[in-house]
Structure 1
Amino acid sequence: MTEVVWYRALCFSKPVGPWRRCRKQMRRDLIDHGLGSYDEWGSFYITVPGYVEIKRERVYSSAA
């Protein structure tokens, strides 16, 4: 069993990008909509009304 984490960028509770497995791609969605940016130290900040929705799911392998 493994756990998969999905990320989706939102604005006013509406998606501005698809569900992504890569956090970097989700951050790119926020940046593209003017809802996020990196500071000079490389920390990522989300600008209001941006938000990140996170969904976790467990994946069971049927391989024996």
Structure 2
Amino acid sequence: LAPEITLPEVFQGEVPKILFALGREFLGRNQFARNSMELLLAAVTSPDQVRGVLSDVANRQFALNIHE
């Protein structure tokens, strides 16, 4: 449609803008609060989940199902 526009030129011009916007969003107040809450939730629930997995391994009830 427009032979004067090449894909690499468009990527070189747009990718830095997109990455900068994503970085600004990631470091924003709302996302920081969300990430903090998810980290706290993971810190609270992880020990019980690890304990359950280790119990299953010790009782030989642990299995991984891999589907291709």
TM, length-normalised to structure 2: 0.23
Please identify which structure carries the higher helix content.
2
Larger radius of gyration: 2
Higher relative contact order (CA 8 A, sep 6+): 1
TM, length-normalised to structure 1: 0.25
